[in-house]
Amino acid sequence: MLDRYTIVWIRQPLVKTAEILDKIGMTANQATMVGFLIGMLALPAIALEQYGLGLFFVALNRIFDGIDGALARRQGITDAGGFLDITLDFLFYSMVPFAFALADPAMNAVAAAFLIFSFMGTGSSFLAFAIMASKRNIDNPVYQNKSLYYIGGLTEGTETIVCFVLFCLFPAHFSTLAWVFGALCWVTTFTRIWAGFATLNTTAEHDT
């Protein structure tokens, strides 16, 4: 819901950073891999209840996620790069609640499992529509420089990162936050299914 607004004020810093990294020879795919590996360091940090350190790695991962996109727009967007980026993003997203489950299984495991279950709904509806939109050449007027069609929702990237930050700042409340955010993810899933089906059904009728 907030991605279309946050992308406006982070665009220029990312572009400037991408210019520097492009000059020293870093590719978008390298930035994707570096960001993913850094982000995965949050797993042992959070599992060992070093939540401040975990937040640091989460933040770096998200910074690199923005940088790889800016680099890709400079160097040329590719299907391979888009595939790598979205796959590693979803692995990272599911890792964070798993790490909190490891930190305190008795308190966090069920809530973490519910949140990962909820991420399956948002992720599958997002990717399934992106595939069909690509087949039908449906363009997204908001995210025109993305390798995939970004169908919106109540919980997008910005909201997810805010949630992860809250997890790390208030780990004692992880369970409550996970249940609430997971429920919001299901709102996103159902609205995406409804909107995606309606859009594809309408375009199919127009094609006949």
String of DSSP letters for 54-120 = HHHHHHHHHHHHHHHHHHHHHH---HHHHHHHHHHHHHHHHHHHHHHHHH-HHHHHHHHHHHHHHHH
* Domains of the chain by start residue, with CATH: 3-207 (1.20.120.1760)
| Residue 16 neighbours by CB under 8 Å, 6+ apart | none
The whole-model pTM stands at 0.85
Which residues, 6+ apart, have CB-to-CB distance to 142 below 8 Å? 4, 150, 152
pLDDT for position 148: 46
- CA–CA distance, 161 with 96 (Å, rounded to integer): 10
* CA–CA gap between residue 193 and residue 16 (Å, rounded): 37
Number of alpha carbons in the 13 Å side-chain half-sphere of residue 101: 14
Task: Give, as one character, the DSSP assignment of residue 208.
Answer: -
Burial class (CB in 10 A: 0-12, 13-18, 19+), 194: exposed
User: Does position 207 have pLDDT exceeding 50, yes or no?
Assistant: yes
Calculate the alpha carbon distances from 125 to 90, 120, 154 in Å. 13, 8, 13
Neighbours of 66 (CB within 10 A): 21
109 pLDDT band (50/70/90 cuts)? Answer: very high
pLDDT in tens, 72-87: 999 998 989 999 999 9
Model confidence at 141: pLDDT above 50: no
Q: Answer yes or no: are the C-beta atoms of 68 and 85 closer than 8 Å.
A: yes
Q: Which of 42-51, 130-139, 199-208 has the highest mean pLDDT?
A: 42-51
Q: What is the spatial distance between Cα 116 and Cα 179, in angstroms, rounded to a whole number?
A: 11
Asked whether residue 101 carries a pLDDT value surpassing 80, the answer given is yes
Dist. CA 55–CA 50, nearest whole Å: 9
